Amino acid sequence: MTQFFRSIATYVALAIGAAGVIIVLFVFNLPPFHGSVETTNDAYVRGQVTLISPQLAGYVVDVPRKDYQTVKTGDLIAQIDDRIYVQKLAQAKAALAKEEAALANSEQARKSNEAKIVSAKAAIESANASLTAARTTYERTQALLERNISTQSESEKNRAALDQAQAALHQAEAAELVAEQDLNTTIVSRRSLEAAVDSARAAVALAEIDLQNTRITAPQDGTLGEISARIGQYVSVGTQIASLVPERIWVVANFKETQLAGMQAGQAVTFTVDALGHQTLKGRIERFAPATGSEFSVIKSDNATGNFTKIAQRIPVRIAIDPDQPLKDRLVPGMSVVARIDLAQPQPAEAVAAR
């Protein structure tokens, strides 16, 4: 009788063990229960979380937004005291006005030098006329002197007048040369003044940018995380004061390399989210990572060892979430996901078109 009960206990233990093995094989989708559906729980909702920091230092004077508030592009998140930057902008504008006035004076000097050149040319023409008249008078006197009609003193007087007329002509020509050199100097210095004006304009633009940067605004539509900025707080360049989560999200599922056979971009994906009561959502494979996750790690593993153990690597698969799903608006980056892909589904249009 005792041996009979022992046999029953043995059979029960074997049955329980066999049932446990069958359950494990079924749960982990292993042969002979391995089907066409590939599943992974190493999947998460992802999004481009933007860390917001100031580009300049100062005291925070206003924080109009609250934690987890929805914002639009350009909405003010924090305001830095702008009194210093307002004065810097005014100073830069004053310097620009000064350089523009110097440039305007240079233009006036150019016009004045051009007028001097015209006056010098007129003086040359007048000197030429005076020289011609003096030469004619001197030659006439010489002719009369040879005929003893004029006196020697008259001839010497006309000769002196001729010499004076020649000197006046040389003086007028020199004055024209000086006026031309003054014009060249003005033109050359104008380039330096124009560069100074451009530099002053750039300083004004930089001052305006600094003034604008005292307003820390949302770079795009999204939802704010926790805002660490406080009124009266001194922040420096790069201080993290808030984070912004854009509206666009997706799922990254890390499948084992042994599961990738048959997966193609465009295939339909179903996934459940732990935080939403495991309700099912839909998406499609968007693209595959160019390398396994281990290749992106900071410390690479060295497999060139004598005690090597082969481990199946995981490759991230990006999944686009289908629009117009009621639960999509409740998804946030970081949520845990269980993704499933039926490899027996018809090939997507993208894969057929690529052939």
Mean pLDDT of 124-143: 70
236 contacts: CB under 8 Å, gap ≥ 6: 54, 57
Secondary structure class of 269 (helix, strand, coil): strand
Q: What is the dihedral of CA 92, 98, 100, 101, to 10 degrees?
A: 160
Least confident of 16-25, 29-38, 76-85, 250-259: 29-38
Residue type, 166: Q
Mean pLDDT of 5-18: 72
Q: Is 254 within 8 Å of 40 (Cβ atoms)?
A: yes
Q: Distance between CA 78 and CA 70 in Å, rounded? A: 15
Residue type, 235: V
CATH number of 83-213: 1.10.287
Higher per-residue pLDDT: 31 or 14 = 14
DSSP state of 319: E
Q: Across 152-156, 251-255, 298-302, 310-314, which has the greatest mean pLDDT?
A: 251-255
Least confident of 183-187, 231-235, 251-255: 183-187
Q: Where are the domains of the chain?
A: 1-34, 35-48+245-302+310-354, 54-80+215-240, 83-213
Cβ neighbours of 78 (radius 10 Å): 25
Identify which of 233, 201, 213, 241 has the alpha carbon closest to the alpha carbon of residue 82. Answer: 213
Q: So what CATH class is 54-80+215-240?
A: mainly beta
pTM of the model: 0.62
- The answer to whether domain 35-48+245-302+310-354 has CATH 3.40.50.2000 is no
Least confident of 21-35, 84-98, 284-298, 315-329: 21-35
- Whether the pLDDT of residue 353 is over 60: the answer is no
DSSP state of 248: -
